Homo-oligomer: A and B are copies of this chain.
Amino acid sequence: MTRPTPVSGFPELLPAQRNAELAVIERLRTTFELHGFANIETRVAEPLDVLLRKGEIDKEVYVLRRLQSDDDASDSGLGLHYDLTVPFARYVLENAGKLEFPFRRYQIQKAWRGERPQEGRFREFTQADIDVVMKDELPFHFDVEVARVMAEALSTLPLPPLSLRVNSRKLIEGFYRGIGAADPATVIRIIDKLDKLAADQVAAMLVTDAALSDEQAKQCLALADISTPDTSFVAQVRALGVEHELLDTGLAELTAVVEGCAPANNDRFTVQASLSLARGLDYYTGTVFEIYMQGYESIGSVGGGGRYDALASDGRTTYPGVGISFGISRTLVPLISRGLLTSTRSVPSAVLVALADEESRGASDNVARQLRARGIPAEVAASAQKYGRQIRYADRRGIPYVWFAGDTGHEVKDIRSGDQVAADPATWTPPSEDLRPQVTSKEQDQ
Contact string against B for A residues 41-66, beta-carbon threshold 8 Å, 1 for contact and 0 otherwise: 11111011010010001101111111
Nearest-CB distance from A68 to chain B (Å)? 5
Contact flag A62-B64 (CB < 8 Å), given A7-B45, A14-B99, A35-B372? yes
- Pair A7/B43 contact, Cβ less than 8 Å: yes
| Complex contacts, A12 vs chain B, CB 8 Å | 40-43, 91
Chain A interface residue count, CB cutoff 8 Å, equals: 89
Among the stretches A74-82, A218-226, A286-294, the one at the interface with B is: A74-82
Q: Is the CB of A61 within 8 A of B50?
A: no
A85 contacts partner chain B, Cβ-Cβ < 8 Å: no
Contact B15 A38 (CB under 8 A): yes
Closest to A92 in B: B4
Task: Tell whether A441 is near chain B: CB-to-CB under 8 Å.
Answer: no
- Which chain B residue lies CB-closest to A60? B68
Asked if A90 CB lies within 8 Å of chain B CBs, one says yes
Partner of A67, one of B57, B76, B393: B57
For residue A70, give the distance in angstroms from its CB to the closest CB of chain B: 11
Q: Which residues of B contact A383 (CB under 8 A)?
A: 139
Chain B residue contacts of A11, Cβ below 8 A: 43
* With A60-B66, A60-B68 already in contact, 18 other A-B pairs whose C-beta atoms are closer than 8 Å: A1-B50, A1-B93, A1-B313, A10-B43, A15-B39, A18-B38, A18-B39, A19-B39, A34-B378, A35-B377, A35-B378, A36-B348, A44-B112, A45-B124, A63-B65, A64-B80, A102-B382, A141-B361
